[in-house]
Amino acid sequence: MRKLMFWLIVAGVVLSAPAQAKLRVFACEPEWGSLLAELAGEAVSVDVATSALQDVHVVEARPSLIAKMRQADLLVCSGAQLEIGWLPQLLKQAGNPKVSSGPGNFMAASQVTTLEKPASVDRSAGDVHPDGNPHIQLDPYRVLAVAKALSARLVEIDPGNAALYQQRLGDFESRWQSAIKGWEAKAAPLKGKAVVVHHSSWVYLLQWLGMREIGSLEPKPGVPPTSAHLSSLIDVTKSGGAIAIISAAYQDTKPGAWLSERTGVPALVLPFTVGGDDRSKDLFSLYDSTLDDLLGVLK
């Protein structure tokens, strides 16, 4: 039995692959993976921990993620306690001081001002985030602020490629700025329009577009929709003139469909992040797809 243990250990060591020379980045969410592709291209290899079809609030600290974290030179996450249920465990088990703190630990929400920062926190109010709403990826101005900070971080960690990172940031910024102009012109008809949301994950998008949230399918953030709460939304949805009931790709579509059936207001599944629908292949197409879907219900 002891011999077996010995050979298992030997086999494990032999299987160990040589370390990679390229900068390796662990991105918690697809939007940051996509941003890294814009800012660093082939200069880094990116592991994206979650997909648009998973709720990043609740992800399992899987062994494969520990293995990826072990080899990372940089960690890029939303922060603001979005990943609190799994990220600390990955860091604790991976034993990689490069990303557990210091420059290798990059939290996007810390680079911008967050909305909905509660004055006091109590779990009876649902799953509230003491550091504010972490779902910042659908405000293009915040994304740009994160891009600038992330690019500076890449330069700090990998000075050898500084020129490349700076050039790519400049390129991204000019394309992004002109895209924002296009999006804002296109989205003008959405201004002042009301929506019912599934989870409080759309504040940044709605604020940017000047839209209003008049109700939420979740009675409290993170608490699954109940039939009593949904019934109470029927009147609000109708009288508030909601143009759509929006949910993210990973969310249950049943509550939205239920309310849609009773109010005639269309239920709309938005990609929420890169990979959330067939069209959202990167940050640009994520915004294109989101706006087209929203404008689609106005017709």
Partner 1 sequence: MRPLPIAIALSLALTAAVDAAEPPVDPQIAALAERIRALEANAQALQKQAADALAAAQAAQAELQQMKAAQQDAAVAAVSAVSSAGATGASANAFNPAIAVILNGLYENHSRDPVDYQRAGFPLVGEGRPGERGLQLGESELSFAANIDDKFYGQLTVTMENEDGETHTGIEEAYIETTALPEGFTARGGRFYSNIGYLNSHHTHTDYFSDRPLAYQAFLGNQYADDGVQLRWVAPTETYLEFGSEAFRGSGYPAEGSTHSGVGAKTFFMHAGGDLGIENSWLAGASLLHADTVDGEDGFSGRSNLFLFDFTWKWAPRGAFKDAGIVLRSEYFVDDRDGLVRDAEDPEALAEAWNGRRRGAYVEGLYRFSRTWDAGYRYDKLWAASSGPYASDFDPRRHSAMLTWHNSEFSLMRLQLAHDEPQPHFIDNVLTLQYQVSLGAHGAHKF
**What is the DSSP annotation of 267-295?**
EEEE--STTSSSS-SSHHHHHHHHHHHHH
- Nearest-approach distance from CB 110 to partner 1, in angstroms: 6
**Residue 19 neighbours by CB under 8 Å, 6+ apart:** 71
**Residue 98 neighbours by CB under 8 Å, 6+ apart:** 72, 73, 74, 104
Q: Which of residues 241-270 bind partner 1 (CB under 8 A)?
A: 250, 252
Is position 192 an interface residue for partner 1 (rule: CB under 8 A)?
no
- Nearest-approach distance from CB 195 to partner 1, in angstroms: 20
* # residues contacting partner 1 (CB under 8 A): 61
Choices 35-43, 58-66, 230-238, 282-290; region in contact with partner 1 by CB under 8 A: 58-66
Per-residue string for binding with partner 1, 2-41, x by CB under 8 A?
A: x-xx--xx--xx-xxx-x----------------------
- Would you state the structure tokens that stand for residue 96, as one six-digit string? 């990689």
Order of strands across the sheet with 74-77? 44-48, 23-27, 74-77, 105-107
Per-residue string for binding with partner 1, 210-229, x by CB under 8 A?
A: ------------xxx-----
According to DSSP, the β-strands at 74-77 and 23-27 are: parallel
Q: Helix, strand, or coil here: 41? A: helix
Residue ranges binding partner 1 (CB under 8 A): 1-2, 4-5, 8-9, 12-13, 15-17, 19, 51, 53-55, 57-58, 60-64, 66-68, 70-71, 81, 84-89, 92-97, 100-101, 110-113, 123, 127, 139, 141-142, 144-145, 148-149, 222-224, 250, 252
